[in-house]
Structure 1
Amino acid sequence: MTIKGIDVSSYQAPTWSTSGLSFVFAKATEGHTVVDSSQAAHAARARGAGLVFGQYHFMWPGDIQAQASWFAEKSVTVEGDMMAVDWERTGSGTMASNADKDALIKAIKALRPDHKVGLYTNSSTWLNVDRTSYFGDFLWIAEYGVAAGHPKITAKWTFHQYTDTPLDTNVGHFANRAALAAWAGASTSSITVSKTKVSLKNLVAAAKSDPKAAQGHASHPADVKPVEAALQKLGYLDASYAKDGSFGSLTIAAYSAFQKAYSKAHGLGWTGDDVNGIPGATSLKALATEAGTFTETA
């Protein structure tokens, strides 16, 4: 009953892997003067992969209405995106009060009544500082050193941030991505899994034969075209070469680039045949997951 997601800010480049993710939170604003410079890029990457998206506001003490307005006006949230208040100690050592925390969540909810608005905080703050037990529509709890989905609190949580390695990583208490989207009010059209199926066997055959034949030779175009489209969507293959159905030299190079990038992002250490541009079961599944445009079969 859990799904996986990450949270990011300008400290992370908007090139993170979407593999295995169902949702992403990105920082939007802080106080009533700071806007995160990478929020739009993070939003585009999440939405491009069909992930449920949310944003958070790092709150400071006081100026509650100004902070609520700043978050509502400066975030790139659209209908169906989640919104959260990040309640923790600031860089200057100050911390908003319980009353401020409650008031900010309510003020944001008043400005954005059609959004799920919740609270992010760590378990120590929740257990030792919080006195109202108020978290709006959802509680997003941070607690490391415990199993994912098992924070040591009795309150009903919706998201659990359980590690910051290699990125802040979370689980959500939902059966699947569609269930989260339905709860958040997000459009499900962007997360519908395509029924296009790609045969690994045919794809390998094409990758090994097409480059050796006449230019543009396409031995298994029905299987190659969805992969070309996925490589184009993720930025590895130019659009002018993404529709011919031939697993030629440029597609080989693009697939190799994907294998290398995926290996690096996940610390897999792939070398040699693992990054030679010939699809394998693991890399094809990874591409299908990241692009969200096809499913793989043997």
Structure 2
Amino acid sequence: MTITGIDVSSYQPTDYSTAGHAFVFVKATEGTTYTNPRMAAQAKRARDAGCVVGFYHFLRPGSMTAQAEYFVEQAASIAGDVLWADWEDAGVSCADKDAFLAEVKRLRGATHRVGLYCNRDFWLNRDTTSGAGDALWIADYNGKPGKPGIKAVWKFHQYTDRPLDTSRAAFKDRAELRAWATRSTAPKPSAPAKATPKPSSTGSTTYTVKSGDTLSDVAARHGVTLSALLAANPSYKAHPNTVYPGARLALPAKAKASTSSTTYTVRPGDTLSAIAAKHGTTVARLAADNHISNPNVIRAGARLTIRK
């Protein structure tokens, strides 16, 4: 069994049909000045139909940091939605694309999958790093749904634009897709037990990357920050979104727990990820300590407890 989905923008109405589809990806923003005026209503339409939801940003030449910040602030996303970089402008380089993905991962990677959309020509002839974040969404209108003309691993194949842009996903059903998007536990076939990582001579342990892992996943699973994991594995600092199955990572020792804490008053324009980075903690820890159910929504004036 395979599943399909569509993507919509301001060119489509808010009452589009979701019949037969498991996911909907909505255009959110473009550059640093445009926001889809129908985004919120189009996303609600998808959620009401029980679809997995995602949002994409059309990359334009300019500051990738500014575009990433604009995207995550404007997108009507909640934790578990997929966030996409839409790479179609020839004025945006491969390095720009990678920088945007890295910044969105930094800002929202703890609560969202972050991936790349591009067409077959861009992937084969413009990309030089194979950087696609958590997933590749490839456009190739070859008349073969689910069989794009590339060798790279992909998660979504956009195979037609009639009557709407339609994609096939590499998931057996909606439940499996949602489990991937939200990083929740999904039933898996039994597998042989894996050996427990042995302590290294430096007091840390090592971890062998599995298919589907991201550095953010590995850090969260082992109770360390992404910055600490990157410090222990400096070769990944330039491309933190690119990690391959079989690679061995050094896991830094966990910081000793402390009961000391401080408070911080949220200011207009603050994001939980920026506050976490400023105080040397993680979004997940801030959310847990302050009972925040949606890390993307914080109110100016709120007082946050920050454990040291």
TM-score by length of 1: 0.60
Alpha-carbon distance, 1:166 to partner: 0.4
What is the aligned partner in structure 2 of residue 80 from structure 1? 80
Pick from 104, 109, 112 the counterpart of residue 100 of structure 2: 104
What is the aligned partner in structure 2 of residue 54 from structure 1? 54
- Does residue 28 of the first structure (1) align with residue 25 of the second (2)? no
Q: Deviations over 1:17-64 (max 9, x none)?
A: 111100000000000111011100110100001100000000012211
Alpha-carbon distance, 1:136 to partner: 0.3
Q: Distance in 1 between matches of 2:142 and 2:134?
A: 26
- Does residue 163 of the first structure (1) align with residue 160 of the second (2)? yes
Q: Distance in 2 between matches of 1:79 and 1:38?
A: 20
Q: Distance in 2 between matches of 1:4 and 1:104?
A: 27
AA at the equivalent of 1:116: R
- Structure 1 unaligned runs (5+)? 189-298
TM-score by length of 2: 0.58
What is the aligned partner in structure 2 of residue 45 from structure 1? 45
Alpha-carbon distance, 1:146 to partner: 2.7
Q: Distance in 1 between matches of 2:16 and 2:158?
A: 17
What is the aligned partner in structure 2 of residue 203 from structure 1? none
Alpha-carbon distance, 1:158 to partner: 0.2
- Does residue 138 of the first structure (1) align with residue 116 of the second (2)? no
Q: Distance in 1 between matches of 2:2 and 2:39?
A: 25
Secondary structure of the residue that 2:83 maps to in structure 1?
strand
Which is bigger in relative contact order (C-alpha 8 A, separation at least 6)? 1
Q: Distance in 2 between matches of 1:187 and 1:162?
A: 28
Q: Distance in 1 between matches of 2:145 and 2:120?
A: 14
CA contact (8 A) 1:52 1:186 kept: no
CA contact (8 A) 1:80 1:187 kept: no
Q: Distance in 2 between matches of 1:86 and 1:64?
A: 12
Secondary structure of the residue that 1:88 maps to in structure 2?
coil
AA at the equivalent of 2:146: G
Alpha-carbon distance, 1:2 to partner: 2.4
Alpha-carbon RMSD: 1.4
Q: Which has the higher helix share?
A: 1
CA contact (8 A) 2:142 2:148 kept: no
Q: Distance in 2 between matches of 1:146 and 1:96?
A: 28
CA contact (8 A) 1:81 1:186 kept: no
Q: Where in structure 1 do 4 or more consecutive aligned residues deviate above 3 Å?
A: none
What is the aligned partner in structure 2 of residue 149 from structure 1? 146
Q: Distance in 2 between matches of 1:2 and 1:126?
A: 24
Q: Distance in 1 between matches of 2:60 and 2:123?
A: 17
Q: Distance in 2 between matches of 1:67 and 1:16?
A: 28
Q: Distance in 1 between matches of 2:139 and 2:100?
A: 20
What is the aligned partner in structure 2 of residue 124 from structure 1? 121
AA at the equivalent of 2:51: L
What is the aligned partner in structure 2 of residue 184 from structure 1? 181
Q: Distance in 2 between matches of 1:117 and 1:21?
A: 21
CA contact (8 A) 2:113 2:181 kept: yes
Alpha-carbon distance, 1:187 to partner: 8.4
AA at the equivalent of 1:52: V
CA contact (8 A) 1:27 1:57 kept: yes
Greater C-alpha Rg:
1
Alpha-carbon distance, 1:186 to partner: 7.6
Q: Deviations over 1:138-171 (max 9, x none)?
A: 0000000231000000000000000000000001
Total equivalences in the alignment: 184
Identity %: 54
- Structure 2 unaligned runs (5+)? 186-308
- Does residue 174 of the first structure (1) align with residue 171 of the second (2)? yes
